[in-house]
Structure 1
Amino acid sequence: MTKNLTLFDIGAADLEASLNRAFEAWVVHRANSQSRAKSERPLSDESVNVYREMWQAFAKFCAERNLDLRDIAVSDLEVFLTVRGTGPDPEHPRQTTRGGNLSARYANRYLVLVQKVTQFQARVDGEETNRAAALLRERPEYRYAEAADKDPPPEYLDEMQARLLIAYLTRAPQPDSNEKMTWKTVRDRTAVALMLGAGLAPGDVRSLKLDGVITVGGRRAGVPWKLALEGNGNSPARETPVADWAGRQLAFWLRIRAQQGIPGDYLFPSTMNGTQWSHTRCFEASRDVLEGAKLGKDAGGLFKLRHTFALRQLRKGKSEEDVARWLGLLDINSMTRYRRIVIGYQDVV
């Protein structure tokens, strides 16, 4: 049965489309910007995808309440952040929340996005900028959200957690279980293996190409030992080592991928057609792997893996400069957060 659209439905759809066009115009503006200011530089594809998902949730919220950018009040933003934090919203799953609330850092980044797009659209329309987002960001919990003392030490896996996860990622299905080992199961587990065993971020996993897997020159024939990643707006092109166990898991995935005849350049495609894994689907699949390994699916779970890799390398005596380069960090000062941690676990990953 076809739904009968009311005038409100049509109006809301038009407003939502208009708000999304404002975002896309802002992205194009950033792409064409010649400014050296960090706030005006072109955005990486990964950043655009993340911001687009964030903005679409905001546009939907505004359209449902008939709020144009010029109409938004501080109270509207407060309600939105509350709704966004308490979910669940299957189309836009929470990714950086703690309990039932958005973290101050994530909420502030949402407000920054709203502020920037609103400022851009006001300039285009020749109007005064709505300062609701800027006013809300002046509150202490948001003003200091990015301060160094608000940046907690990174969460990481302890020795037992790391061993249990590795065992889960690399084991075959148990004969007495109903577990199915599909090609997507192997893909998902291998993706998580590279987060833990090579320090990749979810965005790295999504963008990694087949020709970035380096096998030649390794200790074991046919087993990848290094990855080459393309640069983007947030990090330079780089190479990063792969732990032995993760390399073996990657070799297994490459065999499965070849057997399935999956085309395309992406190492971890979304479908049998070889299309790129979406930000949301990659996050959900990786999170479910952690849940299957009994590690939970909390918001910081995926980056715990990357932090564990970094700590392992520092534990082995690798320099901060090397580890920063492997992680794709442009600022060596980002490594200071690891110095606060007394590394007491063994070299297990």
Structure 2
Amino acid sequence: MHKLIPWDTDPVRAFKEFVSTTAFAQTGRRLRADGTLRALSAESAKIYIFMFGNVASWILEQGLSFSSVTHADLLRFINRTENGKRVLNSKIAYRYLRLLERCYEYLEVAPNPAQQAIIGIDRAHMSKDEPGRTLSEDQLQRFFAALPAQAPRLRRNTPFDGWKRRRDRAMQVVIALTGLRVSEAVGLLLPEVGRQIALDGSIVLTITPDEKHDTSHEHTVTLPRQGADELRHWLQEREAMAIPGQFVFPANLTGARMTRKTVYVQMRATFERAGMDLARSGGRTLRNTFAKRQLDNGARADELKDVLGLALERSAADYNFTRVKPDPAD
């Protein structure tokens, strides 16, 4: 029981020390062809630490400790809902439980609460998760047509009236054509926008973890000419307005960071103007659409992993899609 003490007093620190050890690799039982243990990559360790931190925060909020958690508590954790929707899909929920199972196995806790929780969930349901929704080419063009319009110059009292509308327009085009997460678009920095324009008019974005979500990984993605033109026009206006800071899409004239909620609200408004009543009208649908177009163009799972900034190739291989249902206007 003495091994559990640090996991109760500072569980995140205890896990960080554990995840880098051979003992953690042994609980994974992943072997190379020669029979030796497969080392954990730094990127995978970062993901595991992020996941464990989520569990540890929830345990603390519930007034529990790591040693007192039961399988019923863990089932409550994975079945949490927000606005009537589950926070974790079944595949991700299983990965959380599997991670915790490894921790309790290492600590020699019997019965293992995470193992009991795994037995208690419907594994068959995991293969039935709703596929990621994507837009058809026609719907995507309707989305672009419904973007915030460029404010007519005759209606401007100053050259920069309506600048937020043009910022939102450029941001949504970038998200749709590069598959960026909303957190990555919000945290996009000026140095991450390539200065060199390709012969076809495209530019390369180099996404780094700076100012992004904890699970963002460095990767490059090409913004095609349609998006590059929109982005360049916005950046020229941003420079003319002398907005300080490094955010490509600042929240205000002081250069502050935008909130993801603001982006979601503006994006939903675009979907509504396009006449698409979507249950999931947001960044995820646009990211799925980008991924589907990549696969349709012959991209392999490892290539999709790179352009989406995923840590694991199996995450890209998990992508499966369904088209958004046609609405009455179709």
The corresponding residue for 1:229 is 207
Structure 2 length as normaliser, TM-score? 0.64
1:133 aligns with 2:136: no
What SS does the aligned partner of 1:227 have?
strand
Alignment of 1:68 onto 2:71: no
The question of whether the paired residues in 1 share the 8 Å contact of 2:177 and 2:223 is answered with yes
Letter matched to residue 69 of structure 2: I
In structure 2, C-alpha distance between the alignment counterparts of 1:52 and 1:153, rounded to whole Å: 27
Pair 130,190 (structure 1): closer, same or farther in 2 beyond 3 Å? farther
Higher relative helix content: 1
Secondary structure of 1:258's partner? helix
Within the alignment, does 1:157 sit opposite 2:135 as a pair? yes
Aligned-residue RMSD, C-alpha: 4.7
TM-superposed deviation, 1:291: 1.5
Once the two structures are TM-superposed, the CA of residue 52 in structure 1 deviates from its matched residue by: 4.6
CA displacement 1:22-48 (0-9 Å, x = unmatched): 35415643786686236994306xx86
Which residue in 2 is equivalent to 1:288?
265
Where structure 1 has 5 or more consecutive residues not aligned to the other structure, the ranges are 1-17, 89-93, 343-349
Cα-to-partner distance string for 1:255-312 (whole Å, 9 max, x where unaligned): 34334544444434567665666xxx42x33322332122567458422212222333
The normalised TM-score by structure 1 is 0.61
Give the SS at the match of 1:70: coil
Q: Deviations over 1:292-339 (max 9, x none)?
A: 122567458422212222333444x45436555433456666666678
Within the candidate set 29, 32, 53, 2:17 is matched to 29
Could you tell me which residue of structure 1 aligns to residue 223 of structure 2?
A: 242
Q: 1:164 to 1:27 in 2, by over 3 A?
A: farther
Report what 1:202 is aligned to.
Answer: 182
| DSSP 3-state at the match of 2:220 | strand
Relative to structure 1, is the Cα distance of residues 71 and 340 closer, same or farther in structure 2, using a 3 angstrom cutoff?
Answer: closer
What does residue range 262-281 of structure 1 map to in structure 2 within 5 Å?
A: 262-269=243-250, 281=259
Name the residue aligned to 1:303: 284
Q: 1:253 to 1:331 in 2, by over 3 A?
A: same
The aligned counterpart of 1:190 is 170
> How far apart, in 1, do the equivalents of 2:293 and 2:113 lie?
44
Check the 8 A contact 1:105/1:145 in 2, yes or no.
Answer: no
Within the alignment, does 1:326 sit opposite 2:312 as a pair? no
Contact 2:144 2:173 in 1 (8 A): yes
Letter in structure 2 aligned against 1:252 = H
Residue 214 (structure 1) aligned to one of 181, 194, 197: 194
2:13 maps to amino acid: A
Distance 1:129 1:276 in 2: 47
Aligned AA (1:212): E
Which residue identity is paired with 1:165?
A: F
Q: Secondary structure at the match of 1:169?
A: coil
Unaligned runs of 5+ in 2: 1-5, 26-38, 156-160, 324-330
Q: CA deviation at 1:245?
A: 2.6
Percent identity, aligned pairs only, is 20
The match for 2:293 is: 312
In structure 2, how many angstroms separate the alpha carbons of the residues matched to 1:48 and 1:167? Answer: 42
Matches within 5 A, 1:116-131: 119=104, 123=107, 128=109, 131=112
Q: What displacement does 1:218 show?
A: 3.3
Alpha-carbon distance between aligned partners in 1 of 2:268 and 2:306, rounded to the nearest angstrom: 30
Does structure 1 residue 103 correspond to structure 2 residue 84? no
C-alpha contact (below 8 Å) 1:188/1:285 kept by paired residues: no
Deviation at residue 156 of structure 1 after TM alignment: 0.6
What residue is the counterpart of 1:166 in the other structure?
A: 144
Q: Which amino acid aligns with 1:216?
A: Q
Number of aligned residues: 290
Moved more, 288-297 or 26-35: 26-35
Three-state SS of the structure 2 residue aligned to 1:290 is helix
